[in-house]
Amino acid sequence: MSAWMAKLRDRAAKSPLRSAPASNGADAAGRRAPSPFWIMVQKEFGDHIRSWRFIILLGIVTLACVGSIYASVTALKNGGGAGGNGQTNAENSFLFLKMFTESDGSLPNFLTFLSFLAPLIGIAIGFDAVNSERNKGTLSRVISQPVHRDDFLNAKFVAGLLLIAVVVFSLGFLVMGMGLFTIGYPPSPEEFWRVVVTLLVTTVYVGLWLNLSLLFSVRFRQAATSALSGIAVWIFFLVFYGMIINLVGNVTIPSDPTDALAVMHQQDWLMLLQRLSPAYLFQEAASTLLLPDVRTLNPFITQDQAYLALNAPLPFGQSLLLVWPQVVAIVAETALSFAASYVAFMRQEIRSRS
Amino acid sequence: MEPAVIELSKLTKQYGEFTAVNALDLKIRPGEIYGLLGPNGAGKTTTILMMLGLTEPTSGTVRVCGIDATRSPLLVKRRVGYMPDDIGFYEDRSALDNLIYTARLNRIPLPEARDRAELLLQQVGLAHAAGKRVGAFSRGMRQRLGLADVLIKRPEIIILDEPTLGIDPEGVRELLLLIRELSRSEGLTVLLSSHHLHQVQQICDRVGLFVGGKLIASGDIESLSRQLDGDTRFEVEVDVRDPDGSVAGRIGSMDGVISIETSPSDALSPGANSVSTYRVTSDVELTSALALAVVEHGAPLLGLRPVRAGLDDIYHRYFEGGAAHERVDG
């Protein structure tokens, strides 16, 4: 991501329109003032960090992390983990990763917490990004400065994403550090990279929710409406989407259960529908990365498949390959919702407080 | 004549069926203070937004400092400071922070931004509140901070949308004086929109009357009143104690008097019922002759003042005229 940002910065510097010296002689000193885009990002970032909302959010997420660590460490101490799959070999070699996925049952594990809370972070950061500025009358003031209109939205997004990256990575590393401290078992490089990539995917996933809430904040004038819509979508995907898919599955079940082709066809369809949900995609991606034993993301349909499947952990590269489509899908959904909010924002007329 | 800094030609903006601005032509010369006058919903704000390139016109062109505002809004926004009618600041930041932020959005390096912001806060009389949160500011203070915010980029043109809205009379006077002073000392072109007529009258070089998306008259106040009346007329108000109406008859019989009306008496002044105020319209200057006539008649003369057509009158009469016109059309 840093490379991407460097490129952005570079482009901003090269753009002839932006680097043209200001008419009022601001650049007379020969020193280039930073572009308005980065000033906006800086301000947004500062605003987020100082806000109560962020502190509260950080509190919740930190508590969740500490709780999940406690649960997983207890589980590991009690011997092998409650949800062990009998592979003694794998159990020993990926002990460190188990910290993220095991639990003694008193509390959900880190991964579950993360997939539950991540959307909340995104929604909380983005839901009033545009409409609060509009209602306070600051939007028209900022837009009447020599800044590109899209820079405003981009700055909101980049600042939010940076903040999310900082939060997610610091929490991830915090859990790693605390785990190291309590179990005293160092991670192998592979385990380390698996965790890092998971955190990266999490950042992208939270970015998706950030974008969705940005879209709502462009669309709805009231911050409350926008927050509520964000939460509604979150709950829909978290709770109801799976139920609806099950319902659809029950209704469309082939009449002849021996017709393997029809059964497989129907299963494929259901998986496709299931994978429209970003929550499901993230769940698949993160669990594959943190559980090397996962060899395939498609359910076994026939007995043969289950019987013949190898039962050994995948190397890191193969796990990555397995989740690549999921990651791409999440990025695509992010891009889609950003494009929607971009179009909506560029078309809106900006008057003061209306 | 100098080239115009703001030049609108055939500017039209439609929202669906509704025409907010209708084939507007307007030229504003450098260094002048131009008042855009009109009732609410006349299309003033829409016109201003199009000047800044914040809204695209349906047809017509806007040129500001020779730049097409629709095509390259960024260049225009670099030279034009705009104060929206209900200006908002980041409430939990200090006045100084807000100004510095604006300055930095204009690519002014931080140290210089700080210097300029401090200087401007002094100029608008807010130096004592520089470190205070804007959330705690009063309406008048916000408006003055808004002016500083507009000026920090050192614009060539400033556009103020309803700058006097919601401030007390003393605050309005101070703000307008400040605007005039700044305009004169820095050679700024000022465009201000308002529906408060006398306020605009105090400081504007020229005004434009804007009704229903059309500029129905433009010019300085005298030429506007001439445009309105077609010929020169003089009006004098006479306060006289005249219980039986004989003074009125005497004045009415004078040469050159076109009409004489009884103005509504000032209800606030004590004993007003015994004093009559007559508004005398004539086609020649009659002030001294009137005084003489009243005194000769033996009535106590209590007041005598020539009436200049104020914007209020002009505005009012334009509306009357407009309404009458429509009636004829219909």
Relative to beta strand B275-282, strand B257-263 is antiparallel
Q: List the structure tokens of A191.
A: 């385990």
Which residues touch A131 (CB under 8 Å, ≥6 apart)?
A217, A218, A220, A221, A222, A223, A226
Query: What pLDDT score does B65 carry?
Result: 87
Residue A52: CB atoms within 10 Å: 7
* pLDDT-wise least confident of A92-101, A260-269, B63-72: A92-101
pLDDT band at A73 (very low <50, low <70, confident <90, very high): confident
Size of interface A-B (CB pairs under 8 A): 102
Mean pLDDT value across residues A101-126: 85
Q: Is the pLDDT of residue A81 over 60?
A: no
- What is the distance between the alpha carbons of residues A213 and A209, in angstroms, rounded to a whole number? 6
Determine phi and psi for B303, rounding to 5 degrees: -165, 150
A23, A147, A352 member nearest B85 (Cβ): A352
Q: Taking Cα atoms as reference points, which of B23, B44, B145 lies closest to residue B89?
A: B145
Residues 38-77 of A with CB under 8 A from B: 39-40, 43, 47, 50
Q: Which helix (H) or strand (E) holds A61?
A: helix A52-77
Q: What pLDDT does B310 receive?
A: 62
Closest to B74 (Cβ–Cβ): which among A17, A43, A350?
Answer: A17
- Contact state of A352 with B79 under an 8 Å Cβ cutoff: no
Interface test with B, best of A45, A144, A351 (most B CBs within 10 A): A144
Question: Closest chain A residue to B84 measured between Cα atoms?
Answer: A352
Which pLDDT tens digit goes with each residue over B112-127? Answer: 999 999 999 998 888 8
pLDDT tens profile B197-243:
777 777 888 888 887 788 877 888 777 766 666 556 677 888 887 77
B/e letters for B10-45, b = 16+ CB within 10 Å, e = fewer, are: ebbbeeeeebbbbebebebeebbbbbbbbeeebbbb
Phi and psi at B241, nearest 5°, equal: -85, 110
Domains of chain B: 6-219 (3.40.50.300), 231-311 (3.30.70.260)
B142 touching A (Cβ < 8 Å): no
Q: Is B82's Cβ below 8 Å from some Cβ in A?
A: yes
CB of B107 within 8 Å of a chain A CB? The answer is yes
Q: Find, in chain B, the residue whose alpha carbon is nearest to that of A35.
A: B107
Specify the pLDDT at position B15. Answer: 86
Find the CB nearest B54 among A24, A136, A144: A144
Q: Is the pLDDT of residue A186 over 90?
A: no
- In chain A, domain spans: 35-347
Strand B157-161 relative to strand B80-83, pairing = parallel
Say yes or no: A23 contacts chain B, CB-CB below 8 A: yes
In the predicted structure, residue A74 carries a pLDDT above the cut 50: yes
Distances (CA, A) of B319 to B18, B40, B193, B211, B235: 21, 14, 18, 9, 20
Nearest chain B residue to A142 by CA: give it.
Answer: B102
Amino acid A291: pLDDT:
83
Note the pLDDT of residue B231. Answer: 55
Full 3-state SS string of B231-244:
CCCEEEEEEEECCC
Closest Cβ opposite residue B105 in set A36, A136, A353: A36
What is the interface pTM, i.e. ipTM, of the complex?
0.77
